[in-house]
A and B are shown apart, each in its own frame.
Chain A
């Protein structure tokens, strides 16, 4: 079992990066493969700033990226994907594909960290018209503008005076089939509302919600901050329809604490799209025969006491591939999966002796 000291990590987002670093620090070899041409995962590719202190993403993630890129025990393979797998714990034979060139690698254990994808608002069951109205955008589109240092109405290129966030788009919805909460979008909408108020102090910003879910420290670090320091308006009630009215958008909802239907004009509407398992996550379920739990994410066997072991011996999961998560939880899971993977290899060594 010459190569059984390598752990394959699939996906180089926060979870995969931390898994690779931990495997290397525990004295095993990590092979980190990533389909994209850069490390860092979804946050690095799409988001301008990160919670809780709104630091630039590139800056926040620099330390972990350096640690992985410069560690001699981490073998980084970009533009690479898994296409086939055979074998079991201690000796998986995994076929990797890089631009059509295939190699078979022998690895002892595997951590799947293939993450999530953003919900496509074309599938929502209300009538928000994301593909119809220029000024209806998503959290992700807003981050793209923040990266350029501004926020404007796409229709005019001018700054908006009234901005509305609509929460839970694609989440908590039996009609769509996503019955779970995506966990981060309440915090991210609040974070973005702070950024908009910093750029446009005179803008009015509204967040339409069902429940505001900012557990733990996000409560005062983001929620209270937006409400108290930046005067963001939180309105309990979800919008059902957006209609064009002149060059503005009329949004229809109910102000449920006031108990009346409500119609108000906005310049820009931001849809708080949630998380779904990424295509890569679904693909890994098929290739490695990892069952998916009832919401479609990869299944773990230990409930709250073992968050990373899948039903397949030697295969572990970390981060948003196992369900909606923020970076903090994804990274914790990455380290935990790495420790369990290395532990499994160590047990094999003892048995061999």
Chain B
């Protein structure tokens, strides 16, 4: 089906991105074929809230519909919760896994829409890649989640005290979700680096990438985990 969106992008460019997705080594185990039973959509929490359909993503890839693929790469893949409820597909497709691959290709190629979709997440990317924990107590400012009620202000005023009231010592943290061993952190840095995760972020947000690279390179060098 020809898409009337993104007509300014050449077919060759769309095909190039499609080919990158299809060349991923996981692809052939994530996509067999689709007979449109709708089980994935029925199981999908995102489909209940957004105009989003794991079935359409899978069918588009199965049909090798490059135009529609490009539209979904820009407009749909970030609506997925990556919960993999759709893995109950009777054909053993993994729509969620296909979306993982598409997201990686979108990030690696620095798509404008991807940058926009992820702009709100730079703090989280920074936090998780530099500390190994995703959301820390001090990120929960009083106005962040109004639906959590007025007591959030009280808690955030005395955060350190509240945290120290928790029995496990490893939770006496405010800047991290829990204490992370230095060695664990260094190992994470080495993994982000070796797997190319760090490079992916460069396409997305160069400033963020540079800050993280500096932190990681120093730590990796000091730890002696990777040969110079």
Which of A109-117, A197-205, A255-263 lines the interface with chain B?
A255-263
- What's the A-B contact tally at a CB cutoff of 8 Å? 65
The verdict on A254 contacting B39 (CB below 8 Å), with A259-B53, A261-B48 known, is: yes
CA distance A256 to B40 in the complex (A): 11
Q: Contacting B90 at CB < 8 Å: which of A125, A211, A241, A261?
A: A125
Interface residues as binary, A240-279 with B (CB distance below 8 Å gives 1, 0 otherwise): 1100000000001111100101100000000000000000
Q: How far, in whole Å, are A174 and B29 apart by their CA atoms in the complex?
A: 12
Within 8 A of B (CB), among A161-205: 168, 172-176
> A174 near B32 (CB under 8 angstroms)?
yes
Check if B64 is an interface residue, CB within 8 A of chain A. no
Say yes or no for A207: interface residue by CB 8 A criterion: no
Closest to B39 in A: A240
- Tell me the B36-72 residues at the A interface (CB within 8 Å): 36-39, 41-44, 47-48, 53, 55-56
Please determine whether A210 and B37 come into contact, CB atoms closer than 8 angstroms.
yes
* Residues 90-120 of chain A, each 1 if its beta carbon lies under 8 Å from chain B, else 0: 0000000000000000000000000000000
Most buried by A among B35, B47, B53, B90: B90
Q: Assess whether A238 is in contact with B38, with CB atoms less than 8 Å apart.
A: yes
* Chain B residues whose C-beta falls within 8 Å of the C-beta of A210 in the assembled complex: 35-37
Cβ-neighbour of A240 out of B35, B42, B53 (below 8 A)? B42
> Contact residue range for chain B?
20 to 34
In the assembled complex, the Cα of A125 lies from the Cα of B91 at a distance in Å of 11
Q: Which residues in A have their C-beta under 8 angstroms from that of B41?
A: 254, 256, 261
Whether A238 lies near B88 (C-beta < 8 A) is: no
Q: CB within 8 A of B37: which of A125, A238, A259, A261? A: A238
- Residues from chain B with Cβ under 8 Å of A225 in the complex: none
| A211 engages B35 (CB within 8 Å) | yes
Query: Once the chains are docked, how many angstroms separate the CA of A241 from the CA of B48?
Result: 15
Q: Is A126 close to B, CB under 8 A?
A: yes
Which of B38, B44, B91, B92 has the most A CB atoms < 10 Å from its CB? Answer: B38
Complex interface: chain B residues within 8 A of A126 (CB): 39, 88
**Whole-angstrom distance between the alpha carbons of A254 and B53 in the complex?**
10
**Assembled-state Cα–Cα distance A168/B37 (Å):** 10
Across-interface contacts of B91 in A (CB, < 8 A): 174
Complex-state Cα separation, A168 to B90, whole angstroms: 10
In the complex, chain B residues whose CB is within 8 Å of the CB of A237: 36-38, 42
Query: Are A125 and B88 in contact, CB atoms less than 8 angstroms apart?
Result: yes
Report Cα–Cα, A241/B42, bound state, in Å.
Answer: 8
A8: interface (CB < 8 Å)? no
Within A129-174, which residues are at the interface with B (CB < 8 Å)? Answer: 168, 172-174
CB distance from A334 to the nearest CB of B (A): 32
Pairwise interchain contact A261-B42, C-beta atoms closer than 8 A: yes
State whether the Cβ of A292 lies closer than 8 Å to any Cβ in chain B. no
CA distance A103 to B91 in the complex (A): 47
Let me know if A236 is at the binding interface, CB within 8 A: yes
Can you list 30 A-B pairs with a CB-CB distance of less than 8 A? A125-B90, A126-B88, A168-B37, A172-B35, A173-B90, A175-B89, A175-B90, A210-B37, A211-B35, A236-B38, A237-B36, A237-B37, A237-B42, A238-B38, A238-B42, A238-B90, A240-B39, A240-B43, A240-B88, A241-B42, A252-B42, A252-B43, A253-B42, A254-B47, A259-B53, A259-B56, A261-B41, A261-B44, A261-B47, A262-B42
Give the top 8 A-B pairs by smallest Cβ distance, nearest first: A254-B38, A237-B38, A254-B41, A173-B90, A238-B37, A174-B92, A240-B42, A256-B38
